[in-house]
């Protein structure tokens, strides 16, 4: 009986030791994954900050209309679309740049493709 009880105790100990080793491996893997995720986030953070700050520093530039000998004075720019409110909101500043200018074919092309 004494031999059997030692054998059972030994088996029980080995089983528990195996379980705790598996748990420790999972904890180690989880900690390793957490460290990797943190390192990735830190590596990406400076790039995101650089991109955002470069966007904020860029001042909106006007359309570089060329001086043309054959041109027409533009008093008003009308843009026809299905959604006039959205068009006005998105393109009002672009259209205003042409008003009061003498534009030729190149200037009109720039306005149309801007």
**pLDDT computed for residue 32 by the predictor:** 76
Helix axes 84-98, 105-113, angle to 10 degrees: 140
The H or E element containing residue 72 is strand 72-73
CA-CA-CA-CA torsion sign (102, 107, 113, 114): negative
Determine the Cα–Cα distance for residues 78 and 81; give it in Å rounded to an integer: 10
pLDDT at 15: 47
Task: Please report the pLDDT score of residue 61 as a whole number.
Answer: 77
pLDDT in tens, the chain (114 residues): 555 555 444 444 444 455 555 555 565 677 778 888 787 777 776 665 555 555 554 445 789 999 999 999 999 998 888 998 898 888 899 999 999 999 999 999 999 888
- Distance separating alpha carbons of residues 109 and 107, to the nearest angstrom: 5
């Amino acid at each position: 009986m004494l031999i059997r009880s030692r054998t059972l105790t030994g088996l029980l100990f080995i089983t528990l030791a195996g379980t705790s080793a598996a748990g420790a491996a999972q904890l180690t893997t989880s900690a390793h994954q957490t460290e990797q995720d943190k390192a990735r986030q830190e590596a990406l953070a400076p790039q995101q900050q650089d991109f955002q700050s470069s966007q904020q520093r860029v001042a909106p530039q006007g359309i570089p209309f060329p001086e043309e000998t054959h041109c027409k004075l533009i008093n008003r720019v009308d843009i026809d679309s299905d959604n006039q409110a959205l068009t006005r909101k998105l393109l009002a500043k672009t259209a205003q740049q042409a008003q009061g200018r003498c534009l030729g074919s190149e200037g009109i092309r720039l306005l149309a493709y801007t």
